[in-house]
Amino acid sequence: MKKLNFGYLVTISFLATLIFSITIYGNPQEKPEQDISFYKPVTDISSYPLLKKKRVRNIILLIGDGMGFAQVDAARIRATGAAGRLNMERMPVTGFVKTHSANRLITDSAAGGTALSTGFKTNNGVIAMSPGGKNFMTILEAAQKRGMGTGLVVTSTITDATPSVFASHIVSRKSQPEIALQLVKSGVNVLLGGGKEFFIPKSIKESKRGDEQSPLDEARAKGYLIIDTRQQLADAKGDHVLGLFQMDSLKTTGDEPSLAEMAQKAIALLKPNKNGFFMMVEGSQIDWGCHANNPDYAIRQVLLFDEAVKVALEFAAENKDTLVVVTADHETGGLTIVGGNLDGSGLGFAWAKKDHTAVQVPVYAFGPQAILFMGVQDNTDVARKLSIALGIGNFPLKQE
């Protein structure tokens, strides 16, 4: 009898401690990497209009890495309830994009990105080159040739596969130290993201380079403003800005510029260019949340991405000469939603795997020429349509 009472007391005190811990530490939803309180759902869920004006001055291409239909659904239902809409879902033209690469049914981000940036398919792992080693011209390079301003804005390292395919050419996505050198040489006006470790020489402790080259010093010598804090980004001026806000990828929490803040600043820096601008913004970490089969992580990253989409849409709605295209390079995880409530609470998820899948991904478009993106298309068609919208001939182009 005495023993039983003791066990009872232990149970009570265990429960009390548990309740106390939950009160003190909060529930898991309040961890910064799961917090979605930054997201303000739109009150007006109507579609943006189809614009008649034909001339495209600027292009903002936003790529949600690993963002399939279910990732969009999950983020919408969690953040707005089933009846709401994300910003990207207010874009008037929608379509489907097939994602296979040259050698695989299931693409990686290098081959998927190369298709979106060059209009050509290549093998998995290859950055803006043919499997045989010929450079493909990228839509960013074609825009540069026309005197347009250019920008790349990401939350991964700036040398990761998706940004790389727009301004470098190399047989393996793993060669991030070499990609850093190529990005600096490329002269892209605005480069914002993570990956400082690839821009500093081996002798500095945090460096991930195998040599004593310093792409950061080379960029400075070329006239880039080099920054690494949110305040410096806010104050940044000039036509060449390299912002590397972490050694590795961005944390997407704490005192870092958000993807939306970086996109907003990139637009402000590029807008004065008299020939317009081309900019790519990547929601890099949607893919990582899905590789981890972590719905809270993936949803938060879709919402951070959607805030950047909002910035692009507001700029385009005001200027009416800017084409905004939102798409993905592939789906990750084989995500589906298996239960939950209309208000977005209690969502249940199922995942098919921890890697990429072969299913189609969405494309959304708004602005002059948006209608080009209607219907079912190949990933290579996206780059080709961007070149048509800009009136660039001789594209896609394989360089000898």
Which residues are identified as catalytic? 109
Region near Zn ion per CB under 5 A, out of 25-33, 231-239, 282-290, 301-309: 282-290
Q: How many Å apart are CA 298 and CA 354, to the nearest integer?
A: 13
Using alpha carbons only, give the angle 86, 138, 168 rounded to the nearest 5 degrees: 100
Across the beta sheet with 190-194, what order do the strands follow? 225-227, 241-244, 190-194, 149-157, 277-283, 58-64, 322-327, 361-366, 93-98, 375-378
7: alpha, beta or left? (left if phi > 0; alpha if psi -120 to 50): alpha
Least Å distance, CB 87 to Zn ion, is 24
Judged by CB under 5 A, does residue 329 bind Zn ion?
no
User: Would you give the distance in Å from CA 139 to the centre of its chain?
Assistant: 17
Count the site residues for Zn ion by CB under 5 A: 1
Region near Zn ion per CB under 5 A, out of 191-199, 233-241, 283-291, 293-301: 283-291
Region near Zn ion per CB under 5 A, out of 53-61, 152-160, 281-289, 339-347: 281-289
Region near Zn ion per CB under 5 A, out of 7-15, 96-104, 287-295, 378-386: 287-295
Residue for token pair 């008649």: 52
Q: Which is nearer to Zn ion, 270 or 298 (CB)?
A: 298
Least Å distance, CB 330 to Zn ion, is 7
Q: Nearest-CB residue to Zn ion?
A: 287
Region near Zn ion per CB under 5 A, out of 131-139, 188-196, 284-292, 341-349: 284-292
Q: Which is nearer to Zn ion, 66 or 344 (CB)?
A: 66
Pairing between β-strand 322-327 and β-strand 58-64 as defined by DSSP bridges: parallel
Q: Which is nearer to Zn ion, 287 or 381 (CB)?
A: 287
Q: Are 30 and 293 in contact (CB under 8 A)?
A: no
Beta bridge partners of 157: 194
Q: Which of residues 187-246 bind Zn ion (CB under 5 A)?
A: none
- Which whole-number Å values give the CA distances from 85 to 51, 73, 253, 260, in the listed order? 21, 9, 24, 18
Q: Which is nearer to Zn ion, 264 or 357 (CB)?
A: 357
Find all residues with CB under 8 Å of 184, minimum gap 6, and list them. 199, 215, 218, 219, 222, 224, 242
Beta bridge partners of 366: 324
Least Å distance, CB 383 to Zn ion, is 20
Least Å distance, CB 298 to Zn ion, is 12
Least Å distance, CB 329 to Zn ion, is 9
Judged by CB under 5 A, does residue 287 bind Zn ion?
yes
Q: Taking CB under 5 A as the rule, which mask of x and - marks residues 75-114 in contact with Zn ion?
A: ----------------------------------------
Q: How many Å apart are CA 186 and CA 194, to the nearest integer?
A: 18
Judged by CB under 5 A, does residue 256 bind Zn ion?
no
Q: Which is nearer to Zn ion, 256 or 287 (CB)?
A: 287
Q: How many Å apart are CA 59 and CA 215, to the nearest integer?
A: 28
259-270 vs 295-319: helix axis angle to the nearest 10?
Answer: 20
Q: Which is nearer to Zn ion, 127 or 389 (CB)?
A: 127
Q: Are 199 and 179 in contact (CB under 8 A)?
A: no
Least Å distance, CB 15 to Zn ion, is 42
109-118 vs 379-390: helix axis angle to the nearest 10?
Answer: 30
Q: Which is nearer to Zn ion, 67 or 170 (CB)?
A: 67
Pairing between β-strand 361-366 and β-strand 93-98 as defined by DSSP bridges: antiparallel
What residues line the site for Zn ion (CB under 5 A)? 287
